[in-house]
A and B are shown apart, each in its own frame.
Chain A
Amino acid sequence: MIFVPVTYRGGVYRHNEVVDLIEDIGGYIVQKQVIASDVVLLCFVPKDDVEQLRSFAKPLGGEVIDSPLVGTEIAVVIPSLEIHHLPHPACDIAEYLRRLGAKSNMVGLARGVGKRIAALNDEERDVINEHDIAVYVLGNFEKCIEHKMPILRRGIEVPIVLCGAPDKEALQRITDPPVEGYVGNVGRFMHRTKESEELAKMDEIIAEITKVLDTKRVSIAKDPISVSPARLMDLIKEHVPEIHDVTSPTPLTVQMNGLRVKLPYDTFAGQIRSIEIEDGVKIGDVSDLTPSRMRDYILIRIRPFSETNIVV
Protein backbone atom coordinates (compact mmCIF):
# COMPACT_ATOMS: atom_id res chain seq x y z
CA MET A 1 0.00 0.00 0.00
CA ILE A 2 1.42 3.40 -0.99
CA PHE A 3 0.84 6.15 1.55
CA VAL A 4 0.60 9.82 0.64
CA PRO A 5 1.38 12.59 3.14
CA VAL A 6 -1.53 15.04 3.38
CA THR A 7 -2.79 17.76 5.70
CA TYR A 8 -6.44 18.10 6.65
CA ARG A 9 -7.56 21.58 7.73
CA GLY A 10 -11.05 22.17 8.99
CA GLY A 11 -13.25 23.08 11.90
CA VAL A 12 -13.64 21.23 15.18
CA TYR A 13 -17.23 20.37 14.25
CA ARG A 14 -17.45 16.68 13.20
CA HIS A 15 -13.71 16.38 12.88
CA ASN A 16 -13.91 13.10 14.81
CA GLU A 17 -15.62 11.64 11.77
CA VAL A 18 -12.62 12.65 9.65
CA VAL A 19 -10.30 10.99 12.19
CA ASP A 20 -12.44 7.83 12.07
CA LEU A 21 -12.39 7.80 8.27
CA ILE A 22 -8.60 8.16 8.14
CA GLU A 23 -8.25 5.23 10.55
CA ASP A 24 -10.86 3.15 8.68
CA ILE A 25 -9.09 3.51 5.33
CA GLY A 26 -5.86 2.42 6.99
CA GLY A 27 -4.24 5.83 7.31
CA TYR A 28 -2.17 7.22 10.18
CA ILE A 29 -2.43 10.57 11.93
CA VAL A 30 1.08 11.82 12.61
CA GLN A 31 0.08 14.97 14.47
CA LYS A 32 -3.20 16.53 15.53
CA GLN A 33 -3.36 20.23 16.37
CA VAL A 34 -6.50 21.85 17.73
CA ILE A 35 -6.12 25.63 17.55
CA ALA A 36 -9.23 27.42 18.88
CA SER A 37 -11.97 26.23 16.52
CA ASP A 38 -9.62 24.88 13.85
CA VAL A 39 -8.20 21.41 13.51
CA VAL A 40 -5.08 20.48 11.58
CA LEU A 41 -4.36 16.81 10.99
CA LEU A 42 -1.02 15.80 9.53
CA CYS A 43 -1.52 12.32 8.21
CA PHE A 44 -0.58 9.52 5.85
CA VAL A 45 -3.44 8.06 3.83
CA PRO A 46 -3.45 5.33 1.17
CA LYS A 47 -2.93 6.87 -2.28
CA ASP A 48 -6.17 5.39 -3.68
CA ASP A 49 -8.28 6.86 -0.87
CA VAL A 50 -7.14 10.48 -0.96
CA GLU A 51 -10.05 11.48 -3.20
CA GLN A 52 -12.51 9.78 -0.84
CA LEU A 53 -11.12 11.79 2.07
CA ARG A 54 -11.24 14.95 -0.01
CA SER A 55 -14.90 14.48 -0.95
CA PHE A 56 -15.75 13.57 2.68
CA ALA A 57 -14.09 16.75 3.94
CA LYS A 58 -15.76 19.09 1.45
CA PRO A 59 -19.26 19.26 3.03
CA LEU A 60 -17.60 19.79 6.45
CA GLY A 61 -15.81 22.89 5.16
CA GLY A 62 -12.46 21.16 5.45
CA GLU A 63 -9.71 20.83 2.88
CA VAL A 64 -7.14 18.17 2.15
CA ILE A 65 -3.77 19.45 0.92
CA ASP A 66 -0.81 17.45 -0.37
CA SER A 67 2.05 18.01 2.08
CA PRO A 68 5.28 16.36 1.01
CA LEU A 69 6.99 17.47 4.22
CA VAL A 70 4.66 15.53 6.55
CA GLY A 71 6.53 12.68 8.22
CA THR A 72 9.95 14.29 7.92
CA GLU A 73 12.22 15.71 10.58
CA ILE A 74 14.40 18.54 9.33
CA ALA A 75 17.40 20.16 11.03
CA VAL A 76 17.82 23.88 10.43
CA VAL A 77 21.53 24.39 11.08
CA ILE A 78 22.76 27.88 11.92
CA PRO A 79 26.22 29.05 13.01
CA SER A 80 24.96 30.05 16.47
CA LEU A 81 21.86 30.90 18.48
CA GLU A 82 22.80 34.59 18.69
CA ILE A 83 20.71 37.57 17.62
CA HIS A 84 22.65 37.59 14.34
CA HIS A 85 20.66 34.57 13.16
CA LEU A 86 17.60 34.56 15.41
CA PRO A 87 14.74 35.18 15.02
CA HIS A 88 15.51 36.04 11.40
CA PRO A 89 16.14 34.20 9.17
CA ALA A 90 16.50 30.87 11.06
CA CYS A 91 13.17 30.95 12.93
CA ASP A 92 11.36 32.14 9.83
CA ILE A 93 12.58 29.14 7.85
CA ALA A 94 11.95 26.67 10.71
CA GLU A 95 8.45 28.05 11.21
CA TYR A 96 7.68 27.91 7.49
CA LEU A 97 8.75 24.25 7.42
CA ARG A 98 6.53 23.52 10.42
CA ARG A 99 3.52 25.12 8.76
CA LEU A 100 3.91 22.75 5.85
CA GLY A 101 3.94 19.70 8.07
CA ALA A 102 7.62 19.01 8.73
CA LYS A 103 9.02 18.65 12.22
CA SER A 104 11.84 21.16 12.22
CA ASN A 105 14.54 21.40 14.87
CA MET A 106 16.97 24.25 15.08
CA VAL A 107 20.60 23.27 15.58
CA GLY A 108 22.64 26.25 16.72
CA LEU A 109 26.30 25.34 16.60
CA ALA A 110 28.51 26.07 19.58
CA ARG A 111 31.44 27.23 17.44
CA GLY A 112 29.90 27.77 14.01
CA VAL A 113 30.78 31.44 13.82
CA GLY A 114 33.70 33.14 12.13
CA LYS A 115 35.87 31.85 9.36
CA ARG A 116 39.03 30.67 11.12
CA ILE A 117 37.41 29.44 14.34
CA ALA A 118 34.34 27.69 12.87
CA ALA A 119 33.98 24.07 13.95
CA LEU A 120 31.44 21.27 14.27
CA ASN A 121 31.66 19.02 17.33
CA ASP A 122 30.71 15.36 17.49
CA GLU A 123 27.44 15.94 19.34
CA GLU A 124 26.27 18.45 16.74
CA ARG A 125 27.29 16.10 13.94
CA ASP A 126 25.37 13.19 15.48
CA VAL A 127 22.28 15.29 16.19
CA ILE A 128 22.20 16.53 12.58
CA ASN A 129 22.66 12.99 11.30
CA GLU A 130 19.56 11.90 13.24
CA HIS A 131 17.40 14.01 10.90
CA ASP A 132 16.11 13.30 7.40
CA ILE A 133 17.73 16.38 5.91
CA ALA A 134 19.79 19.34 7.09
CA VAL A 135 19.16 22.91 5.92
CA TYR A 136 22.30 25.01 6.40
CA VAL A 137 21.48 28.69 6.74
CA LEU A 138 24.77 30.53 6.31
CA GLY A 139 25.74 34.14 5.82
CA ASN A 140 26.34 36.84 3.29
CA PHE A 141 29.86 36.32 2.01
CA GLU A 142 30.92 33.90 -0.68
CA LYS A 143 34.42 33.74 0.75
CA CYS A 144 33.18 32.72 4.22
CA ILE A 145 30.80 30.06 2.92
CA GLU A 146 33.52 28.62 0.71
CA HIS A 147 35.90 28.43 3.66
CA LYS A 148 33.43 27.19 6.28
CA MET A 149 31.26 24.74 4.42
CA PRO A 150 33.83 21.89 4.26
CA ILE A 151 34.27 22.21 8.06
CA LEU A 152 30.58 22.44 8.93
CA ARG A 153 29.60 19.45 6.77
CA ARG A 154 32.36 17.12 8.00
CA GLY A 155 30.80 13.79 8.94
CA ILE A 156 27.28 14.76 7.87
CA GLU A 157 25.62 11.85 6.13
CA VAL A 158 22.13 13.24 5.54
CA PRO A 159 21.33 15.33 2.44
CA ILE A 160 22.15 19.03 2.81
CA VAL A 161 20.33 22.06 1.42
CA LEU A 162 22.60 25.10 1.54
CA CYS A 163 21.14 28.61 1.88
CA GLY A 164 23.30 31.72 1.60
CA ALA A 165 23.34 35.24 0.24
CA PRO A 166 25.36 34.51 -2.95
CA ASP A 167 23.20 33.39 -5.86
CA LYS A 168 22.58 29.73 -6.57
CA GLU A 169 25.27 29.47 -9.27
CA ALA A 170 27.88 30.98 -6.94
CA LEU A 171 26.91 28.56 -4.16
CA GLN A 172 27.22 25.63 -6.57
CA ARG A 173 30.61 26.89 -7.71
CA ILE A 174 32.09 27.28 -4.22
CA THR A 175 30.77 24.04 -2.70
CA ASP A 176 33.08 21.15 -3.28
CA PRO A 177 31.99 18.33 -3.20
CA PRO A 178 28.48 19.46 -4.15
CA VAL A 179 25.59 19.25 -1.72
CA GLU A 180 22.11 18.05 -2.63
CA GLY A 181 20.32 21.42 -2.82
CA TYR A 182 21.08 25.14 -3.05
CA VAL A 183 19.00 28.24 -2.39
CA GLY A 184 20.71 31.52 -3.17
CA ASN A 185 19.89 35.06 -2.02
CA VAL A 186 18.90 33.92 1.49
CA GLY A 187 21.67 35.25 3.69
CA ARG A 188 21.73 36.86 7.11
CA PHE A 189 19.07 39.53 7.49
CA MET A 190 17.56 41.27 10.51
CA HIS A 191 13.91 41.73 9.60
CA ARG A 192 10.85 39.55 9.43
CA THR A 193 10.10 37.82 6.14
CA LYS A 194 6.79 39.33 5.16
CA GLU A 195 7.36 40.93 1.73
CA SER A 196 6.05 38.93 -1.20
CA GLU A 197 9.51 38.33 -2.71
CA GLU A 198 10.80 37.12 0.67
CA LEU A 199 7.89 34.72 0.99
CA ALA A 200 8.61 33.57 -2.57
CA LYS A 201 12.15 32.81 -1.37
CA MET A 202 10.70 30.70 1.47
CA ASP A 203 8.66 28.80 -1.12
CA GLU A 204 11.87 28.29 -3.10
CA ILE A 205 13.50 26.76 0.00
CA ILE A 206 10.51 24.43 0.42
CA ALA A 207 10.65 23.47 -3.27
CA GLU A 208 14.36 22.65 -2.98
CA ILE A 209 13.81 20.62 0.20
CA THR A 210 10.92 18.76 -1.43
CA LYS A 211 13.13 17.98 -4.43
CA VAL A 212 15.86 16.59 -2.18
CA LEU A 213 13.33 14.60 -0.11
CA ASP A 214 11.84 13.13 -3.29
CA THR A 215 15.29 11.94 -4.33
CA LYS A 216 15.72 10.35 -0.89
CA ARG A 217 12.27 8.73 -1.16
CA VAL A 218 13.24 7.23 -4.53
CA SER A 219 16.43 5.79 -3.05
CA ILE A 220 14.47 4.35 -0.08
CA ALA A 221 11.90 2.86 -2.51
CA LYS A 222 14.68 0.92 -4.28
CA ASP A 223 15.25 -1.02 -1.08
CA PRO A 224 12.02 -0.49 0.90
CA ILE A 225 12.05 -0.31 4.68
CA SER A 226 10.61 -3.33 6.48
CA VAL A 227 7.74 -1.48 8.14
CA SER A 228 6.16 1.93 7.79
CA PRO A 229 7.32 4.41 10.48
CA ALA A 230 3.72 5.58 10.85
CA ARG A 231 2.65 2.02 11.66
CA LEU A 232 5.34 1.76 14.33
CA MET A 233 4.07 5.03 15.76
CA ASP A 234 0.56 3.60 16.09
CA LEU A 235 1.88 0.40 17.69
CA ILE A 236 3.94 2.30 20.27
CA LYS A 237 0.94 4.50 21.07
CA GLU A 238 -1.08 1.35 21.64
CA HIS A 239 1.43 -0.62 23.70
CA VAL A 240 3.34 2.05 25.64
CA PRO A 241 0.74 4.12 27.52
CA GLU A 242 3.46 6.34 29.04
CA ILE A 243 3.86 8.05 25.65
CA HIS A 244 0.50 9.78 26.25
CA ASP A 245 1.96 11.53 29.31
CA VAL A 246 4.77 13.16 27.32
CA THR A 247 4.06 16.88 26.99
CA SER A 248 6.13 17.42 23.84
CA PRO A 249 4.06 18.46 20.78
CA THR A 250 5.24 15.35 18.96
CA PRO A 251 6.02 12.59 21.50
CA LEU A 252 6.60 10.31 18.53
CA THR A 253 8.32 12.07 15.66
CA VAL A 254 7.95 10.24 12.38
CA GLN A 255 10.90 10.30 10.03
CA MET A 256 11.31 8.91 6.53
CA ASN A 257 13.00 5.71 7.67
CA GLY A 258 12.56 5.80 11.40
CA LEU A 259 11.04 7.30 14.46
CA ARG A 260 12.11 9.40 17.40
CA VAL A 261 10.45 8.27 20.64
CA LYS A 262 10.57 10.90 23.34
CA LEU A 263 10.85 8.48 26.24
CA PRO A 264 14.00 7.57 28.22
CA TYR A 265 16.07 4.95 26.40
CA ASP A 266 17.12 2.95 29.47
CA THR A 267 13.57 2.51 30.72
CA PHE A 268 11.64 1.90 27.53
CA ALA A 269 13.95 0.57 24.80
CA GLY A 270 13.52 -3.09 25.85
CA GLN A 271 9.75 -2.77 26.07
CA ILE A 272 9.53 -1.18 22.61
CA ARG A 273 11.86 -3.80 21.06
CA SER A 274 9.55 -6.58 22.21
CA ILE A 275 6.32 -5.12 20.79
CA GLU A 276 4.92 -7.51 18.22
CA ILE A 277 4.03 -5.99 14.86
CA GLU A 278 2.48 -8.98 13.10
CA ASP A 279 2.85 -12.79 12.99
CA GLY A 280 5.52 -12.87 15.68
CA VAL A 281 7.65 -10.16 14.05
CA LYS A 282 8.77 -7.74 16.73
CA ILE A 283 9.95 -4.14 16.41
CA GLY A 284 13.43 -5.26 17.44
CA ASP A 285 13.53 -7.71 14.49
CA VAL A 286 13.11 -5.06 11.83
CA SER A 287 14.74 -2.01 13.38
CA ASP A 288 17.66 -0.79 15.45
CA LEU A 289 16.89 1.08 18.64
CA THR A 290 19.67 3.40 19.71
CA PRO A 291 19.98 6.15 22.29
CA SER A 292 19.47 9.51 20.62
CA ARG A 293 22.03 12.29 21.11
CA MET A 294 19.02 14.51 21.68
CA ARG A 295 18.32 14.33 25.44
CA ASP A 296 17.67 10.70 26.48
CA TYR A 297 15.28 9.92 23.66
CA ILE A 298 15.10 6.69 21.69
CA LEU A 299 15.95 6.68 18.00
CA ILE A 300 14.46 3.90 15.90
CA ARG A 301 16.07 3.20 12.54
CA ILE A 302 14.02 0.78 10.45
CA ARG A 303 16.16 -1.69 8.55
CA PRO A 304 15.58 -2.16 4.80
CA PHE A 305 14.11 -5.29 3.24
CA SER A 306 17.53 -6.36 1.96
CA GLU A 307 18.73 -6.78 5.57
CA THR A 308 15.65 -8.33 7.18
CA ASN A 309 13.85 -10.16 4.32
CA ILE A 310 10.65 -9.07 6.03
CA VAL A 311 8.04 -6.52 5.02
CA VAL A 312 5.14 -6.15 7.45
Chain B
Amino acid sequence: MQSIEYFEVECPEPLGAEYYKQITNDVLLDHNLIRVIHKLHIYVDPGVPIFVAVGVLHKITSLVRVRDFAAVNPLAGKIVLVLANETYLAPMLKIFLERFGQDHVEQTDRFTVVLRDVSVDAREVEDIIVAHPSESVYKDLIYAFKCIAPEGFRIRREQYTKDKFFFVASEDPLTDEVDALVRSKFARMGEVMA
Protein backbone atom coordinates (compact mmCIF):
# COMPACT_ATOMS: atom_id res chain seq x y z
CA MET B 1 0.00 0.00 0.00
CA GLN B 2 2.67 2.46 -1.07
CA SER B 3 0.39 5.29 -2.04
CA ILE B 4 -1.25 5.44 1.38
CA GLU B 5 0.89 7.61 3.59
CA TYR B 6 -0.79 6.61 6.85
CA PHE B 7 -2.74 3.42 7.43
CA GLU B 8 -3.54 2.11 10.89
CA VAL B 9 -6.13 -0.26 12.30
CA GLU B 10 -6.83 0.16 16.00
CA CYS B 11 -8.58 -2.59 17.90
CA PRO B 12 -8.58 -3.94 21.48
CA GLU B 13 -7.85 -7.40 19.99
CA PRO B 14 -4.43 -7.29 18.24
CA LEU B 15 -5.19 -10.34 16.07
CA GLY B 16 -8.50 -8.81 15.00
CA ALA B 17 -6.65 -5.61 14.02
CA GLU B 18 -4.24 -7.64 11.91
CA TYR B 19 -7.10 -9.39 10.11
CA TYR B 20 -8.95 -6.12 9.53
CA LYS B 21 -5.80 -4.55 8.06
CA GLN B 22 -5.63 -7.42 5.59
CA ILE B 23 -9.37 -7.17 4.78
CA THR B 24 -9.10 -3.41 4.22
CA ASN B 25 -6.10 -3.87 1.99
CA ASP B 26 -7.85 -6.56 -0.09
CA VAL B 27 -11.12 -4.65 -0.47
CA LEU B 28 -9.46 -1.35 -1.39
CA LEU B 29 -7.28 -3.14 -3.92
CA ASP B 30 -10.28 -4.95 -5.40
CA HIS B 31 -12.17 -1.68 -5.80
CA ASN B 32 -9.17 0.25 -7.18
CA LEU B 33 -9.35 2.70 -4.28
CA ILE B 34 -5.77 2.41 -3.05
CA ARG B 35 -4.65 5.32 -5.24
CA VAL B 36 -7.51 7.49 -4.06
CA ILE B 37 -6.74 7.32 -0.33
CA HIS B 38 -3.96 9.37 1.20
CA LYS B 39 -4.46 8.60 4.91
CA LEU B 40 -6.70 6.03 6.60
CA HIS B 41 -7.37 5.21 10.23
CA ILE B 42 -9.76 2.44 11.24
CA TYR B 43 -11.01 1.79 14.74
CA VAL B 44 -12.98 -1.36 15.56
CA ASP B 45 -14.22 -2.30 18.99
CA PRO B 46 -16.47 -5.37 19.06
CA GLY B 47 -17.19 -4.73 22.74
CA VAL B 48 -19.06 -1.43 22.16
CA PRO B 49 -19.70 -2.43 19.24
CA ILE B 50 -18.43 0.22 16.80
CA PHE B 51 -16.51 0.53 13.54
CA VAL B 52 -15.02 3.89 12.57
CA ALA B 53 -13.06 4.62 9.40
CA VAL B 54 -11.67 8.11 8.88
CA GLY B 55 -9.57 9.13 5.94
CA VAL B 56 -8.05 11.80 3.77
CA LEU B 57 -8.26 11.51 -0.01
CA HIS B 58 -5.83 12.44 -2.72
CA LYS B 59 -6.98 15.25 -4.95
CA ILE B 60 -8.86 13.69 -7.83
CA THR B 61 -8.50 15.97 -10.82
CA SER B 62 -8.07 13.55 -13.68
CA LEU B 63 -10.85 13.01 -16.19
CA VAL B 64 -11.05 9.85 -18.24
CA ARG B 65 -10.77 10.57 -21.94
CA VAL B 66 -11.01 8.19 -24.88
CA ARG B 67 -7.22 8.29 -25.40
CA ASP B 68 -6.64 6.93 -21.87
CA PHE B 69 -7.97 3.50 -22.74
CA ALA B 70 -8.22 3.30 -26.55
CA ALA B 71 -5.99 3.69 -29.58
CA VAL B 72 -7.71 5.88 -32.17
CA ASN B 73 -6.73 5.02 -35.74
CA PRO B 74 -8.00 7.27 -38.57
CA LEU B 75 -8.58 5.36 -41.82
CA ALA B 76 -10.29 6.28 -45.09
CA GLY B 77 -13.86 7.29 -44.26
CA LYS B 78 -13.74 5.84 -40.77
CA ILE B 79 -12.03 5.98 -37.41
CA VAL B 80 -11.21 2.68 -35.72
CA LEU B 81 -10.89 2.59 -31.94
CA VAL B 82 -9.03 -0.34 -30.39
CA LEU B 83 -9.78 -0.58 -26.69
CA ALA B 84 -7.22 -1.71 -24.14
CA ASN B 85 -9.93 -2.52 -21.57
CA GLU B 86 -13.69 -2.54 -21.38
CA THR B 87 -14.13 -0.51 -18.19
CA TYR B 88 -15.40 2.61 -19.93
CA LEU B 89 -16.84 0.95 -23.05
CA ALA B 90 -20.48 1.41 -22.09
CA PRO B 91 -20.31 5.16 -21.24
CA MET B 92 -18.17 5.76 -24.34
CA LEU B 93 -20.68 4.05 -26.64
CA LYS B 94 -23.50 6.00 -25.04
CA ILE B 95 -21.72 9.28 -25.78
CA PHE B 96 -20.89 8.20 -29.35
CA LEU B 97 -24.48 7.12 -30.08
CA GLU B 98 -25.86 10.41 -28.77
CA ARG B 99 -23.32 12.52 -30.62
CA PHE B 100 -22.87 10.71 -33.96
CA GLY B 101 -26.06 8.64 -34.23
CA GLN B 102 -26.63 4.94 -34.46
CA ASP B 103 -25.83 4.70 -38.19
CA HIS B 104 -22.28 5.96 -37.70
CA VAL B 105 -21.22 3.85 -34.70
CA GLU B 106 -20.47 0.17 -34.96
CA GLN B 107 -18.95 -2.19 -32.43
CA THR B 108 -17.36 -4.95 -34.47
CA ASP B 109 -16.11 -6.96 -31.50
CA ARG B 110 -15.53 -6.64 -27.75
CA PHE B 111 -12.52 -4.39 -28.12
CA THR B 112 -13.14 -2.61 -31.43
CA VAL B 113 -15.44 0.32 -32.21
CA VAL B 114 -15.69 1.87 -35.68
CA LEU B 115 -16.97 5.41 -36.36
CA ARG B 116 -18.03 5.84 -40.00
CA ASP B 117 -18.46 9.12 -41.86
CA VAL B 118 -18.21 11.33 -38.79
CA SER B 119 -17.44 15.03 -39.01
CA VAL B 120 -14.71 15.02 -36.34
CA ASP B 121 -11.05 14.11 -36.65
CA ALA B 122 -9.18 11.51 -34.62
CA ARG B 123 -7.70 14.09 -32.25
CA GLU B 124 -11.15 15.32 -31.27
CA VAL B 125 -12.33 11.75 -30.64
CA GLU B 126 -9.31 11.15 -28.41
CA ASP B 127 -10.19 14.20 -26.32
CA ILE B 128 -13.81 13.22 -25.64
CA ILE B 129 -14.40 12.99 -21.88
CA VAL B 130 -15.96 9.66 -20.99
CA ALA B 131 -16.07 9.65 -17.19
CA HIS B 132 -15.46 11.75 -14.08
CA PRO B 133 -14.03 9.34 -11.49
CA SER B 134 -14.48 11.88 -8.70
CA GLU B 135 -18.26 11.66 -9.11
CA SER B 136 -18.39 7.99 -8.23
CA VAL B 137 -15.56 7.77 -5.71
CA TYR B 138 -17.88 8.57 -2.80
CA LYS B 139 -20.26 5.74 -3.70
CA ASP B 140 -17.31 3.39 -4.24
CA LEU B 141 -15.78 4.30 -0.89
CA ILE B 142 -19.02 3.77 1.00
CA TYR B 143 -19.56 0.42 -0.72
CA ALA B 144 -16.00 -0.64 0.09
CA PHE B 145 -16.36 0.26 3.75
CA LYS B 146 -19.68 -1.59 3.92
CA CYS B 147 -17.70 -4.67 2.84
CA ILE B 148 -14.89 -3.99 5.29
CA ALA B 149 -17.04 -3.26 8.37
CA PRO B 150 -18.21 -6.23 10.47
CA GLU B 151 -21.33 -7.58 8.87
CA GLY B 152 -23.89 -7.05 11.58
CA PHE B 153 -23.05 -3.35 11.82
CA ARG B 154 -26.04 -2.12 9.87
CA ILE B 155 -26.62 1.25 11.47
CA ARG B 156 -24.35 3.60 9.59
CA ARG B 157 -23.42 7.23 9.35
CA GLU B 158 -21.07 8.59 6.74
CA GLN B 159 -19.84 11.99 5.64
CA TYR B 160 -17.78 13.01 2.66
CA THR B 161 -16.26 16.39 1.98
CA LYS B 162 -13.91 17.49 -0.78
CA ASP B 163 -10.89 15.62 0.56
CA LYS B 164 -11.96 13.91 3.79
CA PHE B 165 -14.48 11.29 4.77
CA PHE B 166 -15.65 9.24 7.70
CA PHE B 167 -17.72 6.09 7.95
CA VAL B 168 -19.19 4.89 11.23
CA ALA B 169 -21.14 1.67 11.65
CA SER B 170 -22.57 -0.17 14.60
CA GLU B 171 -25.07 -2.79 15.58
CA ASP B 172 -26.68 -0.44 18.10
CA PRO B 173 -28.07 3.07 17.57
CA LEU B 174 -25.30 5.65 17.14
CA THR B 175 -25.02 8.21 19.91
CA ASP B 176 -23.67 11.77 19.88
CA GLU B 177 -20.40 10.44 21.28
CA VAL B 178 -19.61 9.21 17.79
CA ASP B 179 -18.73 12.74 16.66
CA ALA B 180 -16.10 13.08 19.38
CA LEU B 181 -14.75 9.66 18.47
CA VAL B 182 -14.46 10.62 14.79
CA ARG B 183 -12.69 13.87 15.74
CA SER B 184 -10.23 11.98 17.94
CA LYS B 185 -9.44 9.54 15.13
CA PHE B 186 -8.81 12.41 12.71
CA ALA B 187 -6.52 13.91 15.34
CA ARG B 188 -4.55 10.63 15.44
CA MET B 189 -3.69 11.24 11.78
CA GLY B 190 -2.87 14.91 12.46
CA GLU B 191 -6.00 16.04 10.62
CA VAL B 192 -9.17 17.94 11.51
CA MET B 193 -12.57 17.00 10.13
CA ALA B 194 -14.13 20.01 8.44
How many residues on B have C-beta within 8 angstroms of the other chain's C-beta atoms? 22
**A82 closest partner in B (C-beta):** B151
Q: Mask for A257-269, Cβ within 8 A of B = 1, else 0?
A: 0000000000000
Are A190 and B23 also in contact (CB < 8 A) when A115-B171, A165-B16 are? yes
Are A140 and B152 also in contact (CB < 8 A) when A115-B46, A190-B27 are? no
A213 to chain B, nearest CB (A): 28
Considering the complex, which residues of chain A in the window 184-232 have a beta carbon less than 8 Å from any beta carbon of chain B? 187-191
CA distance A166 to B14 in the complex (A): 10
Count of chain A to chain B residue pairs whose CB atoms are closer than 8 Å in the complex: 71
Contact of A84 with B by CB under 8 A: yes
Contact of A83 with B by CB under 8 A: yes
**B28 closest partner in A (C-beta):** A190
Residues of B within 8 A of A113 (CB): 151-152
Residues of A within 8 A of B47 (CB): 143
How many residues on A have C-beta within 8 angstroms of the other chain's C-beta atoms? 26
CA distance A52 to B150 in the complex (A): 53
Residues of B within 8 A of A117 (CB): 152, 171
A167 to chain B, nearest CB (A): 8
CA distance A35 to B19 in the complex (A): 37
Q: Which residue, A79, A85, A118, A190, has most C-beta atoms of chain B within 10 A?
A: A190
CA distance A118 to B171 in the complex (A): 11
Residues of A within 8 A of B13 (CB): 140-143, 166
CA distance A118 to B147 in the complex (A): 18
| Contact assessment for A83 and B147 in the assembled complex, using a CB-CB cutoff below 8 Å | yes
**B17 closest partner in A (C-beta):** A140
CA distance A132 to B35 in the complex (A): 47
CA distance A144 to B47 in the complex (A): 8
Contact of A139 with B by CB under 8 A: yes
B13 to chain A, nearest CB (A): 6
| Contact assessment for A190 and B147 in the assembled complex, using a CB-CB cutoff below 8 Å | yes
| Contact assessment for A114 and B19 in the assembled complex, using a CB-CB cutoff below 8 Å | no
A101 to chain B, nearest CB (A): 30
14 pairs from A and B in contact (CB 8 Å cutoff): A79-B151, A114-B150, A115-B49, A115-B152, A117-B171, A139-B150, A140-B13, A140-B20, A142-B16, A143-B47, A144-B46, A166-B13, A190-B147, A191-B22
User: Given A79-B151, A140-B20, A190-B23, list of 16 further CB < 8 A pairs?
Assistant: A80-B151, A113-B151, A114-B154, A115-B46, A115-B49, A115-B152, A115-B171, A116-B172, A139-B151, A165-B19, A187-B16, A188-B19, A189-B19, A190-B26, A190-B147, A191-B26
